[in-house]
Structure 1
């Protein structure tokens, strides 16, 4: 699977070019499924946030980029309808768009729904994450980002990449998200980590990691 791990969606032309490169075709020729599930697990996100994400009216450009088609893949619904029904939807899509919220809640439902098990076989599929939708692909999110607690506890996520992510670096509405705090957070992790602002994304394709940025970031 190809990954575009963003802090706040496709915020600038550089990130959009990275997306088109991963897709291998224009956005307007690609079919997308959006995943709003993470939003329901975070105390600061409500149903209005899910609506804004799905309709492309959020401040994080993802669903409103001009896709040829757009569908909603709500992971909490999948166990009740059976894999034989929803797996073809995923295979037919070009890209999966994962919204923000709580990374552990998203990870839990990716596993319980069976989507996590399917991902390694989707070699040409593109995953675009925003905040928690990006962090879920890392091995650990760190205690600072634990809100919803999974049944087994811990802060482990899917580990499809070998680094962690600290999103929304130096965001004006999040005064605690400083580089000093990112460095303190990263010091407790056993793996490398990227601190990225909202103008930055981490692109992963064929094992190659590339930072795409019109803002600022740091590998810790």
Structure 2
């Protein structure tokens, strides 16, 4: 797992990605998942992610050998024999930002969350909500208007730490270091705050912050 705040924004993040892939980006096949955008940012932002039109958040535009689109909300209407083979054939899943709770909901509803443990050779490259969705919970600061049927702020819990993205981003005045400290105090477990030039690498249980940006670890 490579859990970024804003995509592959620094050489250190790209080096970590290539190390996980075991081959150059140009030889790897990707599937992009824009689902999180619909409940928060809307269709234009989803299109920008798919089309590689977000130069500040590079994901689909990294030079992959191929890029396909995997929309989680469509998967329940398809048989597993259709879409599971597509996922297994991919080297990397590019998971965009938006609403982490909406993304978690559709990860469950689509069956993707059950498939993930079997994808031993597939890289999960998340951006913002696409990274936060793998954590135990996101905290009330990041709960937008959409709520899952069960309520709460719980996400998938595939890693044991929470993530506060976009640390000290000047376009997000509510994401200051002081805000991160307050958020971490209420999260109830270990957490990281990372800026847009950082990502968290998780390989065989080993956790490392990569990139050249600023970050904080909160032990919980």
User: Structure 2 stretches of 5 or more lacking a match?
Assistant: none
Match of 1:79 in 2: 76
Task: Give the Cα separation in 1 of the matches to 2:45 and 2:65.
Answer: 23
**SS of corresponding position for 1:41:** coil
Identify the residue that residue 51 of structure 2 maps to in structure 1: 55
Given that residues 195 and 215 in structure 2 are in contact (C-alpha distance below 8 angstroms), is that contact kept between their aligned partners in structure 1?
yes
Partner residue, 1:96: 93
**For each residue in 1:70-119, what CA deviation from the matched residue of structure 2 results, as whole angstroms up to 9, or x when unmatched?**
10000000000121100000000000000000000000000000001100
Partner of 1:149: 147
Q: How much has 1:46 moved relative to structure 2?
A: 1.7
Structure 1 residue runs of 4 or more that deviate by more than 6 Å after TM superposition: none
Report the Cα distance in structure 2 between the residues aligned to 1:106 and 1:113, rounded to whole angstroms.
Answer: 10
Which of 5, 16, 19 does residue 18 from structure 1 map onto?
16
Q: CA RMSD in A?
A: 0.6
Structure 1, residues 160-190: CA drift from partner, whole Å, max 9, x if none? Answer: 1000000000001111111111111111112
Query: What pairs with 1:132-211 in structure 2 (closer than 5 Å)?
Result: 132-147=129-144, 148-211=146-209
Q: Distance in 1 between matches of 2:95 and 2:147?
A: 20
Task: Tell me what 2:63 maps to.
Answer: 66
Match in the other structure for 1:7: 5
SS at structure 2 position matched to 1:158: coil
Matched residue count: 216
The normalised TM-score by structure 2 is 0.97
What pairs up with 1:109-148 in 2 under 5 angstroms? 109-147=106-144, 148=146
State the 1:213 CA deviation. 2.3
CA contact (8 A) 2:11 2:211 kept: no
**Structure 1 unaligned blocks of 5 or more:** none
Query: What is the TM-score of this pair, normalised by structure 1?
Result: 0.97
Q: Quick one: distance in 2 between partners of 1:178 and 1:139?
A: 22
| Corresponding residue of 2:39 | 41
